[in-house]
């Protein structure tokens, strides 16, 4: 299966978009809630606070990651 593309939002489901079409760079895995990550634009670290995906559509704009800055 192809990797998922994620729309990444900061703080909430209607928060500002941090990145569109983010692809998690670990083969055969996807990010999980509570995980810390850096985005492909170099920003971060971020903590995933919410994740929602469309199982049959890895390239959907409705695959969402909500993240919070890690200090």
Radius of gyration over every alpha carbon of the chain, rounded to an integer in angstroms: 11
The full set of domain ranges for the chain reads 25-71
User: Residue 33: is its pLDDT beyond 70?
Assistant: yes
- Res. 2 pLDDT band, cuts 50 70 90: confident
- Model confidence at 68, pLDDT cuts 50, 70, 90, reads very high
């Amino acid at each position: 299966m192809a990797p998922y593309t994620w729309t990444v939002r900061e703080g909430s489901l209607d928060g500002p978009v941090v990145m569109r079409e983010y692809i998690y760079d670990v083969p055969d895995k996807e990010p999980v809630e509570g995980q810390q990550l850096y985005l492909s634009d170099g920003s971060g670290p971020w903590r995933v606070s919410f994740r929602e995906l469309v199982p049959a559509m890895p390239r959907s704009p409705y695959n969402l990651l909500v993240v919070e800055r890690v200090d």
